Structure 1
């Protein structure tokens, strides 16, 4: 089995420096079946105009993707956070990922649902995702439910970070509102004014850990990055008096090495949260509704108008907000559509495969005649 000692002897790998960038035994195992001769290992820390800024822990350099990578499927194309093999200044391969976070590409939504036809990968090889929401006009419980579902769909652990706590005399009320819909998820209040929440978030940025921040434009992601780093590493925009929101400043995805020992990825603001992948997001985000559903008379209850529906009863008795049930129904419909679309796509591939087999059989018969 491949191990650090064997890899170090090959002179293309400094395990200590790569460990600081998030390399671990998972990636060691991925190299067992990969030809790494004459290659160096590095991690992509940002992408700009088709150029990849990578680092091996010693040096940073700009690289281009090998021609064959330009023709791969969207998800196989190198993205920020990927570990890659490099020859000179060319990325020749992507080491299999531990995980990925992606969303539906903006502007590619289906007319029927909020699901997107095209996927837009956000980042790879993450340990935690900070969902950043400002306590100004950016605050929206229903949107936070969508962010939580998006992150849970990929099996990643979310942390909700509420910025601009200094704007309110009682920001804890917002925290309690979020905790009521984010089951088992840490909800942290932060303020640049007094450093509130910094110590709590630093625990996610320990040695080799990679955290990605996602949220709306102006939610305070760059300001949060500055607070956690202890210096102004990211440009920030002042809060607009006209709309009461911070101005969007981040334009590229970028991994920043943090003094705590981990890495923090800043991301441009997300305008629309469209889904492209179904997973366990609904079950995790709406655990309260899922639990109520077990008490419905019918196992396949749609919670619309069935008799003895525990979910509808909870809404009627004000134990479950109607808005939350509406949010659940909407996202469940989107996930069902994704599942149906994927099934139809798989059936189409299977039909085309058998059509090809049938044609080959016909050709063989003609050859015999």
Structure 2
């Protein structure tokens, strides 16, 4: 009889966790690990060393355990699932996806790329790359966002806001589709609400979506549009410089009426890479395809004879600006890859150093 009484609350709690983003993958991992649903919570926002967490029934503030303060790789970020007890986050559960970028302030200097990671969110199903059809519109920046999202193993969706500023906004969508192969490109307008039905499909129960874009791109306005009421502060874009202010200052997961979670994100001025992956090759699949026709297998597409990529530029089939964007991102990703390999080597050396010290201790004891 006791078992029958307890079944319904457990079922209700799982349903509440699903509204927080619990999916079948995580649920199966919890069962395999023997972790009870009552012990987990999701990080809704992070402010310095305080985390707002929720278990679907209650929300409360937590602090990190002492161990987490010294292990940044295990430090909770918005979207993490955690084990929390007595107001302390004890452990971060394995992440299915991790959205991150390189630290800002390095591009344009002598550094090839950045060396520090800036976490954005964890356990994200899709990313809305938000771009306004005003001065914010930039194909090269959209390419960088796409590469960043693909590197993190997450599905991108390009959302073009402020479509009402143009008589024929479809031309912008066609242009983005020409460089974002296989990616959904959605036109939206706060005037008539166009595009919202298509975006609602990404916000169902168990789904979590993050938004990326520049300040003033319309992320907070889009949040209000999708929610159906004004829940996020917005600000006008400066007419003189075409830039917006940071109306969103904290990354916070928002419960959406559709059943999923949406994370607004402070505006990003620089799109720098940190995670290694095949994002650049995916974004520039047209150049990758042309590369197979080059005379030399290791063609750099700079000056080599018989280069199919350079020929496509000469014939007007491939814009030079796109090739230059590819070259630049390829250089950055080569640096990221080399840095990752170096880190792996260092970890291996430290592991063997620990083994050597252990052996020495054993000899001393004998």
TM over 0.5: same fold? yes
Query: Could you list the runs of 5+ residues in structure 1 that have no partner in the other structure?
Result: none
Change (3 A) 1:366 1:21: closer
Name the residue aligned to 2:54: 55
Name the residue aligned to 1:15: 14
SS at match of 2:99: strand
User: For 2:295 and 2:185, how far apart are their aligned partners in 1?
Assistant: 35
Contact 2:107 2:270 in 1 (8 A): no
Contact 2:255 2:262 in 1 (8 A): yes
Contact 1:12 1:39 in 2 (8 A): no
**Matching of residues 160-239 of structure 1 within 5 Å:** 160-239=158-237
User: In the TM superposition, what is the alpha-carbon distance from 1:104 to its structure 2 partner?
Assistant: 0.6
Name the residue aligned to 1:322: 320
Q: Which of 155, 158, 172 is the aligned partner of 2:156? A: 158
User: For 1:200 and 1:161, how far apart are their aligned partners in 2?
Assistant: 10
User: For 1:367 and 1:87, how far apart are their aligned partners in 2?
Assistant: 40
User: In the TM superposition, what is the alpha-carbon distance from 1:44 to its structure 2 partner?
Assistant: 0.9
User: In the TM superposition, what is the alpha-carbon distance from 1:111 to its structure 2 partner?
Assistant: 5.0
SS at match of 2:189: coil
Deviation string 1:53-111 (CA, Å, 9 cap, x unpaired) is 11111111111112222221x33211101111111211111111111100012235695
Query: Could you list the runs of 5+ residues in structure 2 that have no partner in the other structure?
Result: none
User: In the TM superposition, what is the alpha-carbon distance from 1:355 to its structure 2 partner?
Assistant: 5.6
SS at match of 1:297: coil
User: For 2:334 and 2:243, how far apart are their aligned partners in 1?
Assistant: 35
SS at match of 1:19: helix
TM-score by length of 1: 0.90
Deviation string 1:260-305 (CA, Å, 9 cap, x unpaired) is 1111100101111111112010121001001111111111111111
Change (3 A) 1:114 1:103: farther
Contact 2:30 2:36 in 1 (8 A): no
Contact 1:114 1:274 in 2 (8 A): no
Name the residue aligned to 2:99: 101
Q: Which of 266, 275, 278 is the aligned partner of 1:277? A: 275
Contact 1:110 1:116 in 2 (8 A): no
Deviation string 1:172-203 (CA, Å, 9 cap, x unpaired) is 11111111100000111111011111111111
**Matching of residues 1-369 of structure 1 within 5 Å:** 14-32=13-31, 34=33, 36=35, 40-72=39-71, 74-107=72-105, 112-354=110-352
Deviation string 1:297-325 (CA, Å, 9 cap, x unpaired) is 11111111111111111001010000000
User: For 1:128 and 1:190, how far apart are their aligned partners in 2?
Assistant: 18
CA RMSD of aligned residues (A): 2.6
Change (3 A) 1:282 1:59: same
User: In the TM superposition, what is the alpha-carbon distance from 1:213 to its structure 2 partner?
Assistant: 0.3
TM-score by length of 2: 0.91
Contact 1:27 1:95 in 2 (8 A): no
User: For 1:48 and 1:119, how far apart are their aligned partners in 2?
Assistant: 17
User: For 1:110 and 1:339, how far apart are their aligned partners in 2?
Assistant: 20
User: For 1:367 and 1:49, how far apart are their aligned partners in 2?
Assistant: 46
User: For 1:176 and 1:139, how far apart are their aligned partners in 2?
Assistant: 13
